[in-house]
Amino acid sequence: MAAETVTCAKGNNYRLHKEHALTDKKDVSDKPVPVESTKAIVLFVGGAGDKESYYFSGPYKNIREAWVTFDDRTRKLQEQGRYKSDWLGYNEVRGKQDIQRHVLSLIPYKSCPVYIVGHSLGGWNGAHLTKIMSEWGYRVQMLITLDPVGEGALVWLGSDIYRERPEPITNDWINIKAAPTQRDPSDGVADFGEKWLVSCGPSVNVSVDTNHANAFGLFNAPIAGRKSASDFLFESIMKEFPGE
């Protein structure tokens, strides 16, 4: 798997997977191909105070509802053994040991399509995860970042996140920013942590009128016609199973 680097404004880079031939074109002999049934892996990565307490606040389980409702939507694939998902904290996808324990243990083989939905700090670390997994040879099919946060030095000092800005490597990327007309305390928290203001790279990059904490709303709000990020994720997964 090769990657094409797209240079954006202000020098930010975003890389898209591109297929390349793995066999010498002059070699026409038959090659045994292992038969593996496709399994889609979806990771829902929460932010600060989501899965566990963050400085004595929470857990608020902000992304859990999005995870549960999407799992209901994919029930048939689960029953067929073709779909697996998990809800992880942002701190569970940072560092080699945590990634091996919480992420790679879910993936039976590297060619499985992997989908990452990250909210807040989970969007920041989840974007880093796409690059790490891609460089390890895994297939990251889609990244969805829901109001990602992580630019602030203070939040980096007090949280288990990567310091540098992410450079995602994925086949598709959807970014959704919370832009509420009526703010609530979660929006102030996001401002303190400093949102990652994505200027280019995603195939869909939009703002939604909802609060930062509303991961379910960000995931399910119409962002392209009547389609939501949840719809795009579902359609991408179903393309792996033609005829279903």
CATH of the domain at 43: 3.40.50
- The model scores a pTM over 0.75: yes
Q: Residue 160: inside a domain, yes or no?
A: yes
Q: Residue 28: inside a domain, yes or no?
A: no
Each residue's pLDDT expressed in tens, for the chain with a length of 244 residues: 444 445 565 445 555 554 433 334 444 444 444 445 679 999 999 998 787 766 667 577 899 999 999 999 999 999 999 999 999 999 999 989 999 999 999 999 999 999 999 999 999 999 999 999 999 999 999 999 999 999 877 676 677 688 899 999 999 999 999 999 999 999 998 998 899 999 889 999 999 999 999 999 999 999 999 999 999 999 999 999 986 6
Q: Residue 52: inside a domain, yes or no?
A: yes
Dist CA 185 CA 49 (whole Å): 14
Q: Give the number of other CB atoms < 10 A from CB of residue 53.
A: 12
User: Considering the chain, what is the average pLDDT of its residues?
Assistant: 85
Q: Residue 90: inside a domain, yes or no?
A: yes
**Amino acid 151: pLDDT:** 87
Using an 8 Å Cβ cutoff, are 209 and 181 in contact? yes
Dist CA 107 CA 182 (whole Å): 41
Dist CA 27 CA 19 (whole Å): 19
Q: Residue 106: inside a domain, yes or no?
A: yes
Tell me which residue range forms the domain holding 134. 2-16+38-238
Peptide bond into 59 cis (omega under 30): yes
pLDDT in tens, 131-173: 999 999 999 999 999 999 998 776 766 776 888 999 999 999 9
Query: Could you give the number of structural domains in the chain?
Result: 1
The shares of helix, strand and coil residues in the chain, as percent rounded to the nearest 5, are 30, 25, 40
Using an 8 Å Cβ cutoff, are 237 and 115 in contact? yes
Q: Residue 104: inside a domain, yes or no?
A: yes
**Amino acid 208: pLDDT:** 97
Q: Residue 27: inside a domain, yes or no?
A: no
Q: Which residue, 2, 35, 31, is CA-closest to 19?
A: 2
Q: Residue 29: inside a domain, yes or no?
A: no
pLDDT in tens, 77-97: 999 999 999 999 999 999 899
